[in-house]
Amino acid sequence: MLTNDVIARADSVLMQTYGRQPLVLVKGQGCRVWDEAGREYLDFVGGLAVCNLGHAHPAVTEAVHHQLQQLVHVSNLYYTLPMAALAQDLVRLSFAHRVFFANSGAEVNEAAIKLCRRYSLERFGPNRHRIISMTNSFHGRTFGALSATGQQKFWQGFEPLLPGFVFVPFNDLAALERAVDGTVCAVMIEPIQGEGGVILPDPGYLAGVRRLCDEAGLLMVLDEVQTGLGRTGKLFAHEHFGVAPDVMTLAKALANGLPMGALLATAEVAQAFVPGTHASTFGGGPAIAAAAREVLRILADPDFLAEVAAKGNYLRDRLTELQRRHPIITTVRGVGLMWGLKLARPGAPVVMACRERGLLVNCTQGDVIRLLPPLIVSLAELDQGLDILGQALT
Ligand SMILES: *Cc1c(COP(=O)(O)O)cnc(C)c1O
């Protein structure tokens, strides 16, 4: 069979960094993807919270197509129209006054770390460069982002890491308070831990983090790489919790599948980056910026976000029902269209059973089934997916 042949050939030449599902996907449309044998799958992974507008969204495709015919790349030695417009859109839609573009989540988290250190040096002087991060967090695989990631399993074989990170448990304000001293410049945190298993902040926790940051003069850095851009039913997850950060990172869904990341900051913090301090050859390139502009135009529409929130509530009710019928689900947690089902058993067999029945879901932390459907998902598609998930659990 062609699929097995492709997999065998790929496995013989690709570095073995991934435990890939045995699927060769060739086409996507909306919430569905097809493999090379023509089999259809309902996609509740959405490219890992990337394809928020679904696969092959016509407006995004059209914008990229148009831009590809005009200008693809000139580097950041020059200005381009899509980049300028996109930065304005992001500033208009957020707490931020300034934006830096890069190409992935890890990369903008690296940029955030550099920005915090440089801001702190200028504002407060030397020896105040440490960053408090959270146990069980995920910020990416490059060295700085990896060093900020509070999961030792990702560090193994790569130490020594970048120095200067302190870890405290998520949802533990007292531990955070104890960790703050004159050597700390920032707190870096996901508003909802995604890779860590969809862990929500306790009521008042993020507001408490904000207050501690204000009292100690620390920057609050929110990694919204996964939670941002409509995933939770608000444009940015922090809007649920009544806080605004000083620095925020976005990536995953920003260009609906094309690689783009954005670092956002207030004017005061952003001025620490002056010409020569940071750069990216591809960052904010015209074709990708054109895609992201369309993404924002669609996602930031209050009606669109209200629909995501409503579908999220529907999904929550259906998942709670599912849990009642399947005691193997120990916890259901999430918001909007970002959900985790913690199982009393390993999740891999459930992922496989879903796939065999035509549904793609992800498993994180070994036993958390993570659902990240495209935000354009219909109620009928949610029903279909949950029916399959129910069968798979049986
Ligand atoms: C996925 C993710 C990253 C890393 O993004 P990459 O584009 O894979 O580098 C960083 N932070 C969070 C919260 C993520 O979910």
Q: What is the pLDDT of residues 161-205, one digit of tens each?
A: 999 999 999 999 999 999 999 999 999 999 999 999 999 999 999
Mutate-to-test residue for ligand 1 from 18, 101, 139, highest number of ligand atoms within 8 A of CB: 139
Residue 1: pLDDT above 80? Answer: no
pLDDT digits (tens, 9 = 90+) for 62-106: 999 999 999 999 999 999 999 999 999 999 999 999 999 999 999
Residue 39 to residue 31: CA distance in whole angstroms? 14
CA of 136 to the centre of ligand 1 (A): 14
pTM of the predicted model as reported, rounded to 2 decimal places: 0.98
Residue 226 beta carbon below 6 angstroms from any ligand 1 atom: yes
Residue 362 beta carbon below 6 angstroms from any ligand 1 atom: no
The band of 2, judged by pLDDT with boundaries at 50, 70 and 90, is confident
pLDDT digits (tens, 9 = 90+) for 345-381: 999 999 999 999 999 999 999 999 999 999 999 999 9
Q: What is the 3-state secondary structure (H, E, C) of the chain?
A: CHHHHHHHHHHHHCCCCCCCCCCCEEEEEECEEEECCCCEEEECCHHHHCCCCCECCHHHHHHHHHHHHHCCCCCCCCCCHHHHHHHHHHHHHCCCCEEEEECCHHHHHHHHHHHHHHHHHHHHCCCCCEEEEEECCCCCCCHHHHHHCECHHHCCCCCCCCCCEEEECCCCHHHHHHHCCCCEEEEEECCCECCCCCECCCCCHHHHHHHHHHHHCCEEEEECCCCCCCCCCCCCHHHHHCCCCCEEEECHHHHECECCEEEEECHHHHCCCCCCCCCCCCCCCHHHHHHHHHHHHHHCCHHHHHHHHHHHHHHHHHHHHHHHHCCCEEEEEEECCEEEEEECCCCHHHHHHHHHCCEECEEECCCEEEECCCCCCCHHHHHHHHHHHHHHHC
3-56+302-393 has CATH 3.90.1150.10 classification: yes
Residue numbers annotated as active site: 138, 223, 252
Using the atom order of ligand 1, give the atom closest to the CA of residue 106. 9
At 322 the pLDDT is 98
CA of 394 to the centre of ligand 1 (A): 32
pLDDT digits (tens, 9 = 90+) for 212-263: 999 999 999 999 999 999 999 999 999 999 999 999 999 999 999 999 999 9
pLDDT digits (tens, 9 = 90+) for 267-279: 999 999 999 999 9
At 303 the pLDDT is 98
> Quick one: fold of 71-299?
Aspartate Aminotransferase; domain 2 (3.40.640)
The band of 50, judged by pLDDT with boundaries at 50, 70 and 90, is very high
Contact 187, 221 (CB under 8 A): yes
Residue 104 beta carbon below 6 angstroms from any ligand 1 atom: yes
Tell the residue nearest (CA) to atom 11 of ligand 1.
139
Residues of the chain with CATH 3.40.640.10: 71-299
Going 375 to 376 to 379 to 382, the CA torsion angle's sign is negative
At 387 the pLDDT is 98
Residue 139 beta carbon below 6 angstroms from any ligand 1 atom: yes
Residue 193 beta carbon below 6 angstroms from any ligand 1 atom: no
CA of 83 to the centre of ligand 1 (A): 22
Using the atom order of ligand 1, give the atom closest to the CA of residue 142. 9
Residues of the chain with CATH 3.90.1150.10: 3-56+302-393
Among 338, 322, 329, 332, smallest CA distance to 386 is for 322
Residue 223 beta carbon below 6 angstroms from any ligand 1 atom: yes
At 228 the pLDDT is 98
CA of 109 to the centre of ligand 1 (A): 9
Residue 142 to residue 107: CA distance in whole angstroms? 8
Residue 140 beta carbon below 6 angstroms from any ligand 1 atom: yes
| Torsion on CA atoms 121, 123, 125, 129, rounded to nearest 10 | -40
- What residues contact 130, with CB distance under 8 A and at least 6 apart? 164, 165, 166, 183, 184, 185
